[in-house]
Copies of this chain bind each other. A is one copy, B any other.
Amino acid sequence: MGTGKNISSFSSLEVMNFLNEISSNFPKAVSFASGRPSERFFESSTWFDAISRFTAYFADKNNISVTRANSLLAQYGKTNGIISDLISKHLLADESIKCQPDQIIVTVGCQEAIELSVKSLCQDKNDVVIVRTPTYIGITGVCELNGIELASFKAEQNNTLDGLRASVDALERCGKTPRVLYLIPEFDNPTGDVLSEQERIEIIKFCASKGITILEDNPYGMYRFEGIANAPMFALDEYGCVIYLGTFSKTICPSLRVGFAVLPKKWFGCELQAKKFYNELSQRKSFITVNTSQISQGIVGGILLREECSLTNLVAPAVDFYKVNRDTMLECLENEFAGHKEKISWNTPSGGFFLSVYLPFKFKAEEALICAKDYGVLVMPLSFFALDDSDDRNVRLAFSYAEIGEIRQGIRQFSEFVLNHMQAMEHENDLSSTCEP
């Protein structure tokens, strides 16, 4: 467990660079490295209709002509955005989240929402952001770049709360203030893991008692392949300690750059504090991006209107596609690693974009580079996302972007590397055991 110190050997910035470099240096390699959504489901041909639809809605709502609405939509706009009413309906329909439009701030992708929230919450030098390790580099990067202290704990199966409690205790003992807990409870990036509803409730109760705000990031929630969706922590929160972060990068497409944050109605029980906090986010936003592109908001708004504010039907083909991809990857892993299952294992996420593979040897930047260079497959060491060394033998495989044929080919190539590496290790062991001095 890391307490108040980032002991990751790789910084978020280095991870970004590494990913960009291997992607551009090995363009022909099969990539399981980047968690991009598949491009099959982008419907850019429908955007123009979407903007027109939203413009008509905006004109009607504000009792102005369509011409005037067109002008206003091309102008500077409200810092907090103009589609919060539609987003609140979408959240109710698709995530069982009840909120009012004035609890929502529309941001330039979810990343801006993370930046605004963390900067607003952690203003004292003693304030600390807590994460599970491994975690998404979008949160560690914001902390690193803003000099905000990060603490991490290793979440074992079904006892996340124990790890969190120990981390908070340790921080408090050295005079630090645990201020934020960042989580992707549904299909975590990088692990693909899910927090059970019971765990969510316990964590919320604990955080509420400690004055810790939970940032619940939910980019993958709509991509469940089987089983029943867990309620988002925001929906389970009775204390007003959860901020919900969402994005349309996965459901519609990334180039829109539209995300959002939803604040509790009463932040730790106080409506006035919630309003103040909302205004602080809004003011910070006005000095970073002024407002989120109204063209992008118009596209999102138009699609939400067309879909009657539920994106379930829209994402259904993508859910099917990702499920088949996951199944194919699991099947390939089964086949390629048959006979090595006592040494190599992986999880079976019930949704999302990622799974992780456990290997019997350290897999870090050097090994990832060999995979790219000699085996034509791009994968990410889980240690890149880790704040301690507990994940040195794990690899993240994204199954969202590749096509089925590529998955078969890529897993074959990856397994060749793994099995060759294991053989070389055994050979080395043999040599060292036979060549005694």
B115 and A292 form a contact (CB under 8 A): no
Instruction: Answer whether A289 and B109 are a contact pair too, CB < 8 Å, given A283-B16, A295-B255, A296-B296.
Output: yes
Q: Of residues 68 to 113 in A, which have CB atoms within 8 Å of B's CB atoms?
A: 70-77, 108-109, 111-112
A289 and B141 alpha carbons, distance in the complex (Å):
12
Question: A235 CB to closest chain B CB, in angstroms?
Answer: 27
Q: Does A3 contact B (CB under 8 A)?
A: no
| In-complex Cβ contact of A108 among B145, B287, B289, B294 (8 A) | B289
B76 and A289 form a contact (CB under 8 A): no
Contact with B along A23-63 (1 / 0, CB 8 A): 00000000000101101001010011000000000000000
Q: Does A284 contact B (CB under 8 A)?
A: yes
Instruction: Answer whether A111 and B287 are a contact pair too, CB < 8 Å, given A253-B74, A292-B257.
Output: yes
Question: A49 CB to closest chain B CB, in angstroms?
Answer: 11
A13 partner residues in chain B, CB cutoff 8 A: 283
Q: Which residue on chain B has the smallest CB distance to residue A11?
A: B283
B288 and A295 form a contact (CB under 8 A): no
Q: Does A293 contact B (CB under 8 A)?
A: yes
Question: A437 CB to closest chain B CB, in angstroms?
Answer: 49
B77 and A255 form a contact (CB under 8 A): yes
A253 partner residues in chain B, CB cutoff 8 A: 74-75
B70 and A44 form a contact (CB under 8 A): yes
Q: Does A161 contact B (CB under 8 A)?
A: no
Q: Does A218 contact B (CB under 8 A)?
A: no
Number of interface residues of A (CB under 8 A): 50
A108 partner residues in chain B, CB cutoff 8 A: 108, 257, 288-289, 293
Q: Which residue on chain B has the smallest CB distance to residue A108?
A: B289
Contact with B along A111-152 (1 / 0, CB 8 A): 110010001000000000000000000100110010000000
Question: A277 CB to closest chain B CB, in angstroms?
Answer: 14
Contact with B along A381-415 (1 / 0, CB 8 A): 00000000000000000000000000000000000
Question: A77 CB to closest chain B CB, in angstroms?
Answer: 6
| In-complex Cβ contact of A76 among B12, B119, B255 (8 A) | B255
B16 and A286 form a contact (CB under 8 A): yes
A289 and B111 form a contact (CB under 8 A): yes
Q: Does A291 contact B (CB under 8 A)?
A: yes
A74 and B288 form a contact (CB under 8 A): no
A295 partner residues in chain B, CB cutoff 8 A: 47, 255-256, 293, 295-296, 299
A73 and B284 alpha carbons, distance in the complex (Å):
29
A428 and B142 alpha carbons, distance in the complex (Å):
57
| In-complex Cβ contact of A36 among B44, B76, B257, B287 (8 A) | B76
Q: Of residues 271 to 293 in A, which have CB atoms within 8 Å of B's CB atoms?
A: 283-284, 286-293
Which 10 A-B pairs give the minimum distances between C-beta atoms? A141-B287, A39-B71, A42-B74, A255-B294, A74-B253, A76-B254, A257-B293, A108-B289, A74-B255, A13-B283
8 additional contacts (CB under 8 A) given A75-B254, A138-B287: A17-B283, A34-B76, A37-B75, A48-B48, A76-B254, A108-B108, A108-B293, A141-B286
User: Which residues in A have some Cβ–Cβ distance to B below 8 Å?
Assistant: 12-13, 16-17, 34, 36-37, 39, 42, 44, 47-48, 70-77, 108-109, 111-112, 115, 119, 138, 141-142, 145, 249, 253-257, 283-284, 286-296, 299
Listed A/B pairs (25) with beta-carbon separation below 8 Å: A12-B287, A16-B286, A17-B283, A39-B74, A39-B75, A42-B71, A74-B254, A74-B255, A75-B254, A75-B255, A76-B254, A111-B287, A111-B290, A115-B288, A145-B283, A255-B294, A257-B289, A257-B291, A257-B292, A257-B293, A288-B288, A289-B289, A293-B295, A295-B299, A296-B296
